[in-house]
Structure formats: structure tokens, C-alpha cells
Amino acid sequence: MDSFAESHKSLDNNISLADVRAQVRKLESDLQEKNVPLSGRIIHVCHYLPVTCAFARRPRPSDIPSPPATPPAKASDIPPSPVEATHNDSALPAPRGTAPEQPTSQWNVNVRYGHSAMVSGIDSLAGTHEQIFVGWTGDIESSSATPPPLAAPATSGPSDPPTSKVSASSLGEEDKKELETLLQDYKSRDELKDGKKIHYVPVWLDDKDAHGHYDGYCKQTLWPLFHYLLWQDVATEYASADAHWAPYEAVNAAFARRVAEVYRPGDLIWIHDYHLLLVPALLRQTLPDAAVGLFVHTPFPSSEVFRCLPRRKEILDGMLGANLICFQTYSYSRHFTSSCIRVCGYEVTARGGIDVQGHVSAIGYCPVGVDADRVAKDTLRPGIQPKLDALRALYEGKKIIVGRDKLDVVKGVVQKLRAFEKLLQDYPQWIGNVVLIQVTSPALTDSPKLERQVSELVAHINGEYGSLDFIPVHHYHQTIKKDEFYALLSVADLGVITPLRDGMNTTSMEFVIAQERSKKSPLILSEFMGISSNMADALQINPWNLSEVAAAMHRGLTMPDDEKLRRHQQLYKTVTTHTSHTWAAILAKKLLQRLGSQNMARQTPFIPKGDLERHYLKAKKRLFLFDYDGTLAPIVKVPSAAIPSPDTLEALEALTADPKNVVYIISGRDQEFLEQHLGHIKGLGMSAEHGGFIREPGAATWSNFTKSLDMSWMGEVLEIFKYYTERTTGSHIEVKKSSITWHYRSADPEWGLFQCHQCQDLLENNLARKRPIEVLVGKKNLEVRPLAVNKGEIVKRILYFNPDAEFVFCAGDDKTDEDMFRALLLFPQGATSARLDPPLSVTLLAGSKDEADQLPPVDLAIEREAVFTTAVGHSSKRTLAVWHVTVPEEVVEHMLHLVRAADEDGTTAGSSSNL
């Protein structure tokens, strides 16, 4: 997939929740048949728990003053009771019908408001899955000691105002355990009555870290950046993007530890939003086999904005620990992919995933909706109609435009007010006939400058266009009650939502549902909202273009009823089809699909150092076969800079010094490079140009496998590569004796990848059909080589001439190395011994055809367990290798370990000569 070719797919409005759930059940059934473990549980990791917690410490005995002493009673004053007479027990019995008094709970738990779409989606999954909700408790309030409700109250509204906050560090382990026990019985009012259990698991955070994380890095750095603002644009004083990085790391680590504690094999893990972007990679380290999804609820900016972030690579690498990363819209997913390519240099797979050392993160998008059924029921609340009638009476004879936003710099309130002023300027017939009711709720971070700007603009419009009996703008800066909110949405003749950048905006969807029972009024949406691409029947505008917005307002106010109805019906279908319930079910479906993909079907285990050492020490002859780039040396932007490290040279010299070892470097590099950097190591065999040439250990000359092959195709390939080099700035051609390679590492990454795909298609569908060549896509390069020459043929040659080898260690990192791993699949199903026919790499160098025909097959001494094929990269990398290591340094470390083990065991050349 590339930016230049893939088109955006529109949402399917015919999908149903029942269909998605049926698909989920089918996927689970198929996975279970394949013996993929599934627990039936989904872990949701969110910044907050959907509850607020208040704490009142239970008085301790030492805190209660002692009452005065009671005078002793005479024995004759108290008649003996039958119980005392029978059991000789001095304790008085408890009254009948009473239970032993339980201590009053120190905790009070109530529903937390906000993020209603996400929470309702998670609640809906209880119909099919058991769930664990992991989140921070939030600030713990101090309150009077009252018994906590085990279910959320039936009526909405804030609880009694707290007197102060309780520091998490002041709580003991018993206090924390008490809340965790209480949450085991908690059931919110929105949970399905017959649904499966939702467990609420608190994450305990240090107060300083918690606020440095949320109020610091999240709100001062990430949130502005994701909405196309830099931190200094929203800060009131000098701001550093790194000032709160440490608490952001600490909190993400605390969440990852908590998830690991509750995880069971087969759980699905969904991590939500930008507060926890490092958690996926942290979980990948501790739970390498877990199925992890990340959903980003905010917008994701273009790579040109994102690359301004100092910690850009850490954030991207943290996100790429997930198996699946989902965004609200296709464009956000493209921005993320572009950032991974441009900032980190990672490659995109054919299906659009991001490849990080073999671990592939799939990228997708799935917009969040609202709980349409719940909103529809809320619009029927008995308190709405009286307020609706009052609004109609108050503004009788006038058109009503409604806006409701947070007073935030990205919500476009200022632009909306200016566009309304432009409406009154350009269409003066509306003066006295239209009012704008704008409600602004307080934002998470106060902005006195923005409040003042809005107030001054409202006063200016009212002063310029108002009169004693007409006020054009009514601005209410307050949090309004639900009845007032739905009455306002229902009475509107036009809804106007103009954020400068936004992810999902629930007000737009609630407006559509509220209008179903009233006027079917049109809706104006900013094109910079994530949801705008799914609501094509709204009037979409650029909020910066005041004339366009004013014209859209006029059009909406004068729209014919039949057009209103048509647009409303389409919007209503979208909103009631793509609900929060459908969104949550689709997330479960997508992660299950990812779990069943080939990339996750087989996790390659890390190479066992103990087994490796045991087979190495007991073998009388050993083969070591190494790729170079990405295996013994890390991949670098400038190929000539990939020189072997001192540790690599030490390990190779030590291995080749042991006469029991046969060591080869099998690389795509040319002869000159290998001789320059490794030629001084005595006893080291080398193969250059992916098997085109070989220099045996101790030899001074190279053997050419291609001298008897038809190489005339190289001229045709060179002409094609020249054409693409001219079109791709920064690319270059490398001509070797047996192959030819086009490199685009220094080109624009997305354009280079696109051109690579185009060139590959041309070569495979034209030249490769007529010539004995194969086309290989490497890391930032495209290589063409003869069919008869590859690394696998070299491995077979080495095995053929060393049939007595009892140990093989073969390591590589890319597609060309898979030929080596394939050549080492020596044992058919159930076979215990292996035989090798003369390979092409042996017969090509035979003196004549008769000599080649007389070469016999050989029986190999190797055992299946003594072949250690090792891929360098992530455990989920698709490979024929049996084992894996993560980075080239671990290959070198294992080599040095074997050398030291042999020294200690006394099996090196020096030790054996003394026997």
C-alpha cells in the first residue's frame, strides 16, 4: 500500500450490530479450531476508570476517646441466662434477626461523566465478552463516611462537592485493597442486565506523576500537537515539550505493569487514546504473544507537524508495539503511516502495515459513534418539552441557529461568531429574524484570553446589529443540564459546528437524533472534523472561510423541506448505524482478524542459549553461516558506513581459530567490501553478491558461479533502473558482477517506495517472464539476480562439502536469507536422517558435464535438533527460521558466549591438543 495509489473506502451504512457480532463469533470459532488460545475476555486500558472515588478514613480505635468506666454490677442484679447456665459463656447473645455489625466502608464510588461514547461501547461488549476495565482512579476526593452504592445512581448529576483531595501516597495497602474489593461488586447503570461481568481494576499512581502526565505532557504537549498546535502556541509562558516526559513514561509503565498483572493467555487488549501511547511497546516486551490493539480517539497530525515533537521516535515506537493501530478516519491513519516512514524510516508492507524489525503493526480506521438508542431515549425525557415550548415562545418568529462547544482554541467558536456576523453583513434580511444561541462549556484548561475574545466579539455583534427588542447572539458560558441541551438541539433551525480540528464530535450526532422528532433541520460541519467524511449530507465548510460559512448558514436557513428531509434521513441512517456499540464490536472483530493472520499465527521463540551451547560443545565439526548487513552489523543509511564492530571481529576471529569450526559470511555485498573489512581473518569463508561468488576458507581467489550463465539481461535491467533513477531524486544504481541493485534509501521515503513498486511490477510482468532472473525487494532497494544464484545454493554447497558437520548455526535478517533457512530444511516430516544431492552451486563449478553427473549424493551427520536457523528481528516476523534474536548485537553476544563456553569446557584447539 502506498499514499499515491490507495483510495479511501467509504463506510458501509448497511452494516448491523448483529452482523458484526456474528462475524466475531465465526472468527472465534475458526481460531479455536486452529488451537489459537482465546479466553473470551477483553481488557480495555483507559486513562480513567468510569467511576469517581471518594475516601473517608474509618476512625481507628486509637482515634476514639474512651468513655467513662462503667461501675461493676453485683452478681445478684443479673439473673443467670439459660445460655450461660448451659454453655458457661459470659457473652450476651445478639438479638434475633440481626447480623454482626459490618464496618462502614471508607470508599464512596459514583459514576464519572465524560467519554460517554467510549464507555457505552465498552459496556455493550458485555453482551458477548467478559471485560476488564483498567484505569486510573482519578483524584481521590475526601468526603464524609457514607456507605457506597454498589450501582450507579439512577439520576444524573454531580455528587456532593468534595471538601479536599486525598493523596494516593497516604493510602495504605489495606485501603487500596478495600476499593478493589468494592469495585468487584460495582455495576454501572448502563451495564447490560444479563451481560457478562465487567471488572474494574484501578491503577494506583503517585499524585505528582499523575498530574505531570495528564496536566503536563498530555495536555500541554500531545493534545495541542495532535490538533495542529505546537506547545508554545497554547502555553502562557515559556514551554518545553520535554518538561513532563518523565512522568508520562512513569505512568505508562505503571499501566503496563497493571495490565500484565491481570492478563491471561488468550485475552484481547485494547488501549485507548493518546494518554497511553507507550503502553503497547511495554506490553510487547512483557507479553510478547499478547494480541494488543491501540485506538487513538484524537486526530493524528501530518508528518510535517508530528516531526516537530522531540520525543517523536519514542512515541511512534511505543505505538508500534501494538498488533493493530486504529484511528477515527482514513486520513489520520495515512498521517500516522507517513510519520513512521519519514521519521523512523520504517517500511510499509504490501497490505499497509508498518514493519519494525519483522514485527508488523496493521493500520486501520473505525469511527466512533454515539449510543443512538440511549440518546433517542434521552430526547424523550419529560423535562424537555416544557423547556422546548419556552424556547419557541421566547424566539417566536425567528430562526434559531444553535452551537454548543467547549471553549477551546481548536473548537472554532471565534470563527463561528465572525461567520455569523458575516451572515448579517452579506444577508441583511436576517437582521431581526435570526438568533445564534451559543453555549460554551468550560474547557479542561482555562483560557482567559479566549474567554475575553469571545465576550468582546459577542458584545460587538450585539452592539452593531442588535436593538432594544432584538439580541442576535445569546452566549452562555456554562455547563447546561441534559434537558436544556436536548431542548436546544430540538428547537434549532440550523446546527453549526465549526472546529478547526477535531476527532469525533458527539454534538453533531446528538443533533441529528434530536431532530428526528422535530424539524429535520440541516447541519453545518467543519471539514476538519474526523466525522465529517462520514456525514457527507451535512453542509461542509472551511471554518476559516467566513464568506463560505455565512453562505452555508443562509442556505441552511432557506433550504426547502424536501431537501432537509433527504439530507436528514441519510445523516440519521449513518448515525444510527455506526453507533458506539457497532464501533466496539468492530474493534473486537479487527483484533481477532489480526490474531488469525499469518503474521501472528506463529511466534518464533528466542534462541535458547543452553541448548545452543550443549549442541555446540558435543559437536566434532560445526558450521557457522552469517549474513552481514542487519545480522552482524546494523542497517545504516549509508551502506559504506556498515563496518564490523570490535566485538564482531573478536567473535569471528575466535570462532575461526577453532579447527572444529567452519565459518562463512554469506552476504549481498561485493567482494571488495568483504575483503576490505573481513579479509584479514584467517580461515573465514566468504560468499559475495548473494551467492554469485565464493571464497573458500584459507583461499586467496574467488570462484564465479555466473561465468557459465547468460548475463545479457543486465543491460536491459540497467536501462529500466536508469529510467527510475531519473524520476526519483536521491536514488542510485549499484552494478555488481552477478546482480544489479536500485537503491532508494536517500530518496523521499513514500515516493521512493511508490517508484519501487512501479519498477518491480514492470520487471516481474515483462522482463522476468522472458529471462532467467528473479526480482527481490530488499530494505530500501530492488535487486535483480540470476535464478540459479542465491544464498541457499551456497549453503547447500557448504553442507555438501562438509557432510560430517554435527552443528549448524545460520543467522540472517531479510528475504534473501530465507533462501538459507529453506536450504536447511533438511528433514522431511518424520525423518531422522538427511541426504543431500549435488547442488547447482557444486555442479556449476565442475570441470565438465560428465564430472558433474558423477558427483554422488552425501549422507549428512547432522541431527534435526542441532540445526539453529535464526532470524534477526521480532518474534512475529514471518520466517522459515526456527529461532530468533532481536538485534544484531545479540548474534554477536551468542557467538562470544559459545567461544567462552568452549574455553571453559576445554574443547578449543589449544585444550584438545593437550589431551
Tell me if residue 766 falls in helix, strand or coil. helix
**What are the cell numbers at 724?**
527510475
Is the per-residue pLDDT at 113 higher than 70? Answer: yes
The Cα 312–Cα 722 span in angstroms is: 35
The contacts of residue 757 (CB under 8 Å, 6+ apart) are: 2, 5
Query: pLDDT tens, 690-732?
Result: 888 899 998 889 988 888 788 889 999 999 999 999 999 999 9
Q: What is the pLDDT of residue 62?
A: 53
Number of C-beta neighbours around residue 261 at 10 A: 9
**pLDDT at 177 (0 to 100):** 92
Distance of alpha carbon 329 from alpha carbon 578, whole angstroms: 13
How does residue 190 score in pLDDT terms, banded at 50, 70 and 90? confident
Percent of the chain with pLDDT over 70: 88
For position 131, what pLDDT does the model report? Answer: 93
| pLDDT band for position 16 (cuts 50, 70, 90) | confident
Whether the pLDDT of residue 570 is over 80: the answer is yes
Residue 169 CB partners (closer than 8 Å, separation 6+): 206, 207
Element (H, E) at 678: helix 671-678
What pLDDT was estimated at residue 95?
42
Burial class (CB in 10 A: 0-12, 13-18, 19+), 649: middle
Burial class (CB in 10 A: 0-12, 13-18, 19+), 686: buried
Instruction: Give the whole-angstrom CA distance, residue 620 versus residue 810.
Output: 17
Q: What is the pLDDT of residue 274?
A: 95
The stretch 168-176 carries a mean pLDDT of: 88
In the numeric block, the cell 457527507 is attached to 536
Check pLDDT > 80 for residue 340.
yes
Partnered with residue 348 across adjacent β-strands are 354
pTM for the model stands at: 0.79
pLDDT (0 to 100) of residue 103: 57
pLDDT, average across residues 331-357: 88
* Mean pLDDT value across residues 613-638: 90
Residue 734 in grid coordinates: 549499484
The sign of the dihedral angle between the CA atoms of 561, 567, 573, 576 is negative
Q: How many CA atoms lie within 13 A of 371 on its CB side?
A: 18
Distance (Å, whole) CA 28 – CA 224: 40
> Cα dist. 325→46, 257, 298, 329, 370 in Å?
15, 21, 13, 12, 21
Nearest Cα to 159, choosing from 39, 296, 52, 29? 52
pLDDT in tens, 202-232: 999 999 999 999 999 998 899 999 998 887 6
Give the pLDDT of residue 565: 94
Do the Cβ atoms of 852 and 846 come closer than 8 Å? yes
Q: Which residue has the higher pLDDT, 62 or 572?
A: 572
Check whether 783 has a pLDDT greater than 50: yes
More confident residue, 10 or 659: 659
HSE-CB at 200 with a 13 A cutoff on CA atoms is 28
pLDDT at 300 over 90: yes
More confident position, 68 or 795: 795
Q: How far apart are CA 657 and CA 664, in angstroms?
A: 13
Average pLDDT rounded to a whole number, residues 350-354? 85
Q: Which of 122-131, 648-657, 904-913 has the lowest mean pLDDT?
A: 904-913
Distance CA 657, CA 686 (A): 16
**Nearest in space to 282 (alpha carbons), one of 254, 244, 261:** 254
Alpha helices per DSSP H over 159-306: 173-184, 207-211, 223-226, 231-234, 245-262, 279-286, 303-306
Are 662 and 690 within 8 A, CB to CB?
Answer: no
The three grid cell numbers given for residue 398, joined into one nine-digit string: 425567528
DSSP class of residue 633 equals B
Tell me the pLDDT tens digit for each residue of 35-49.
888 999 999 999 999
Average pLDDT over residues 791-807: 92
Residue-level pLDDT at 866: 93
User: Mean pLDDT across the chain, nearest whole number?
Assistant: 85
**Secondary structure of 74-107 in the HEC alphabet?**
CHHHCCCCHHHHHHCCCCCCCCCCCCCCCCCCCE
Q: Find the mean pLDDT for residues 876-887.
A: 86
Radius of gyration, alpha carbons of the chain:
35
Query: Which residues share a beta bridge with 606?
Result: 884
The pLDDT value recorded for residue 60 is 58
- All cell numbers assigned to 250: 512513569
Residues in the chain, overall count: 915
Specify the DSSP class assigned to residue 529: B
Structure confidence by residue, pLDDT tens digits, 743-772: 998 888 889 988 998 999 999 988 888 888
- pLDDT number for residue 847: 65
- How far is residue 130's CA from residue 673's CA, in Å, rounded to a whole number? 58
pLDDT of residue 827: 87
End-to-end, the C-alpha distance of the chain in Å comes to 62
Is pLDDT of 913 > 70? no
Q: Which of 627, 813, 814, 817 is catalytic?
A: 627
> pLDDT at residue 84 above 60?
no
What tens digit of pLDDT does each residue of 443-488 get? 766 678 888 999 999 999 999 999 988 899 999 998 889 899 999 9
pLDDT score for 601: 46
Residue 878's closest CA among 363, 364, 350?
A: 350
| In contact, 51 and 171? CB cutoff 8 Å | no
Does position 604 have pLDDT exceeding 70, yes or no?
yes
DSSP assignment of 583-632, as one string? Answer: HHHHHHHHHHHHHTSHHHH-PPPBP-HHHHHHHHHH-SSEEEEE-SBTTT
Query: Given a cut of 50, is residue 623 above it in pLDDT?
Result: yes
Whether 627 is catalytic: yes
Report residue 849's pLDDT band, with 50, 70 and 90 as the boundaries.
confident
Whose grid coordinates read 471485560? Answer: 131
Flag whether pLDDT at 150 surpasses 60: no
pLDDT for res 638: 77
Question: What does the pLDDT read at residue 64?
Answer: 53
Amino acid at 463: G
More confident residue, 195 or 390: 390
